[in-house]
Amino acid sequence: MTISPEHVRLLRWLAAGLGSGWLPKTPGTWGSLAAWLPGIGLAVYGGAAALLLAALLVLALGCLVCARLLPLLGDDDPGWIVIDEWAGLWLAMALVAAFADVSWLHMALALAAFRLFDILKPFPIRRIEHLGPAWWSIMADDLFAGLMGGTLVLIILAAGG
């Protein structure tokens, strides 16, 4: 099935996190920053449930977009695809919002912890990054980075940090 150029442009824009992945040098960080402010809005007005629902919706959208787009690109994980950062960050923020006060500081810690795990990719994130089809692994490693990042923030907060 042939995809129209307009459809490809839409898929690319969505995959690039509404274009944030096309910013220079550090697309994952730009994508995360672009997702952070709407994530704070979701946390303030809808709490952890809204963030979790948004993360799941972006996960589904990201899987669909990547499954359609990756075969056209000939690259299994282009750096400019950052829709996965949106889902992973919102999962980290949802965890923090579920068990701690929603504050700028807590949400900034969720962002920092998510980026830390997404960049360093400690076990098992690096392994997850290579499991299954590319459209899934692009999304799955960031979800796990979000889970680990949110958990780290909760541990720090519980320890009185």
Q: Which of 148, 147, 143, 114 is nearest to 56 (CA)?
A: 143
Q: Residues near 144 by Cβ (< 8 Å), separated by ≥ 6? A: 88, 117, 124, 125, 128
Per-residue pLDDT of the chain (161 residues; tens, 9 = 90+): 688 999 999 999 999 999 999 999 999 999 999 999 999 999 999 999 999 999 999 999 999 999 999 999 988 889 999 999 999 999 999 999 999 999 999 999 999 999 999 999 999 999 998 999 999 999 999 999 999 999 999 999 999 86
Task: State the pTM of this model.
Answer: 0.96
**18 three-class SS:** coil
**What are the sequence ranges of the domains in the chain?**
5-17+26-158
Cα-to-chain-centroid distance, residue 95: 14
Helices of type H across the chain: 5-15, 27-73, 83-99, 104-120, 125-128, 134-158
* Residues listed for the chain: 161
